[in-house]
């Protein structure tokens, strides 16, 4: 079956702009998590959505937001971009949440590489 | 203290040797532990999960867990150049604000040279 699909794969923005990234999870997966990956900080948890509700949130400023639709597809948005937002943004899907059939196995997409100039 | 800590390496081992990767975590009540592998330019993929104290073997990979010491390790026997990658330790939080979050360590870069 198809894996996790992220779009766009690459994008370049300038400071102050905003960006929206999209993620389509594996069919049947209801949980979508977003991570930011940078060489200095590694994989940092952004947020997790399950059944259209944000269930967990990492320590990122309010400029970072997300949502999930009824078909489990998810988007994340970063407003007022800063140079430090340049990173690989990874989306991952899983079958459930902790305590609700969650195995901890995340299936990652290829990522969206954002460059902020 | 970071929630999940790994030796960043890089760790270099000769082909055929045992590679040992270590990880410590801060959440004393965590119950679920994972090792992901990430090749350069690729996304992480799950290679091992462990939930109980002791060893869990899967082919050339052995995960070891010691909850009392809050320590997880991954051993790769008969290391191959194709094992060269970044290995990420991940822990599911079980308490407080960490509940249900899968937190990753910084990763250990492993290079297996012929």
Q: What is the pLDDT of residue A82?
A: 97
Q: Is A42 at the interface with chain B, CB within 8 A?
A: yes
Average pLDDT over chain B, rounded to an integer: 92
pLDDT in tens, B57-70: 999 999 999 999 99
Q: Is B81 helix (H, G, I), strand (E, B) or coil?
A: helix
Minimal CA separation from A91 to chain B, in Å? 10
Question: If we measure between CA atoms, which residue out of A74, A41, A8, A90 comes closest to residue B43?
Answer: A90
SS (H, E, C) A7-57: ECCEEEECCCCCEEEEEECCCCCCEEEEEEEECCCEEEEEEEEECCEEEEE
Phi-psi region of B42 (alpha: psi -120 to 50; beta: other; left: phi over 0): beta
> Residue B99: which of A33, A35, A98 has the nearest Cβ?
A98
A47-51, A55-59, A99-103, B98-102: the lowest-pLDDT one: A99-103
User: In Å, how far is A41's CA from the nearest CA of chain B?
Assistant: 7
Question: Measuring CA to CA, how many Å separate A64 from each of A117, B14, B77?
Answer: 18, 43, 42
Whether pLDDT at B1 is above 80: no
pLDDT score of A56 more than 90: no
Residue of A nearest to B35 (CA): A105
* Ordered strands of the B54-58 beta sheet: B4-6, B19-25, B71-76, B61-66, B54-58
Residues A10 and A42: their CA atoms lie apart, in Å, by 19
Scanning the structure block, which residue is given the tokens 């997966």? A29
Report whether A17 contacts A85 (CB < 8 A): no
Of A43, A102, A103, the CB nearest to B104: A43
Give the confidence band of A102 by pLDDT, cuts at 50, 70, 90: low
Give per-residue pLDDT as tens, A64-92.
999 999 999 999 999 999 999 999 999 99
| φ/ψ (deg, to 5) at B97 | -70, -10
The mean pLDDT of A23-46, rounded to a whole number, is 93
Q: Is the pLDDT of residue A105 over 90?
A: no
Could you tell me what percent of chain B has a pLDDT over 90? 78
Q: Say what the pLDDT of residue B36 is.
A: 95
Of A45, A104, A109, the CB nearest to B43: A109
Average pLDDT over residues A21-27: 96
Residue B42 CA to residue B37 CA, distance in Å, equals: 10
Nearest to B102 among A90, A106, A111 (CB): A106
B3-43 pLDDT, tens digit each:
899 987 799 999 999 999 999 999 888 888 999 999 999 99
State the pLDDT at residue A43: 92
Strand partners, B75: B20, B62
Cross-chain residue pair B104–A104, CB shorter than 8 Å: no
Q: For residue A97, which residues of chain B lie inside 8 Å, CB to CB?
A: 100
pLDDT: which is higher, B92 or B78: B78
List the structure tokens of B81. 């150049």
**C-alpha A76: how far from its chain's center?**
6
Worst-scoring range by mean pLDDT, A54-58, B7-11, B18-22, B110-114? B7-11
Pick the residue of B36, B37, B44, B99 with the most A CBs within 10 A to test the interface with A by mutation. Answer: B44
Residue of A nearest to B104 (CA): A43
**Residue A31 clears pLDDT 70, i.e. is over it:** yes
């Amino acid at each position: 079956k198809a894996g996790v699909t992220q779009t766009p794969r690459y994008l370049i923005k300038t400071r102050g702009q905003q960006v929206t990234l999209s993620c389509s999870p594996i069919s049947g997966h209801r949980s979508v998590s977003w991570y930011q990956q940078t060489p200095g900080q590694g994989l940092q948890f952004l947020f997790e959505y399950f059944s259209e509700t944000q269930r967990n949130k990492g320590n990122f400023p309010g400029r970072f937001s997300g949502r999930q639709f009824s078909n489990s597809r998810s988007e994340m948005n970063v407003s007022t971009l800063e140079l430090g937002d340049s990173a690989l943004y990874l989306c991952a899907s899983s079958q459930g949440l902790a305590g609700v059939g969650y195995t901890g196995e995340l299936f990652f997409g290829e990522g969206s590489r954002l460059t902020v100039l | 203290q970071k929630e999940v800590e790994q030796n960043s390496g890089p760790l270099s081992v000769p082909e055929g040797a045992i590679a040992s990767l270590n990880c410590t975590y801060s959440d004393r009540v965590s119950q679920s532990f994972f090792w992901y592998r990430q090749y350069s330019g690729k996304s992480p993929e799950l290679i091992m999960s462990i939930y109980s104290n002791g060893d869990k073997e899967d082919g050339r990979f052995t995960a070891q867990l010691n909850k009392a010491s809050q320590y997880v390790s991954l051993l790769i026997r008969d290391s191959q150049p194709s094992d060269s990658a970044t290995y990420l330790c991940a822990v599911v939080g079980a308490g407080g604000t960490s509940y249900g979050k899968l937190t990753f360590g910084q990763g250990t870069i492993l290079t297996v040279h012929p």
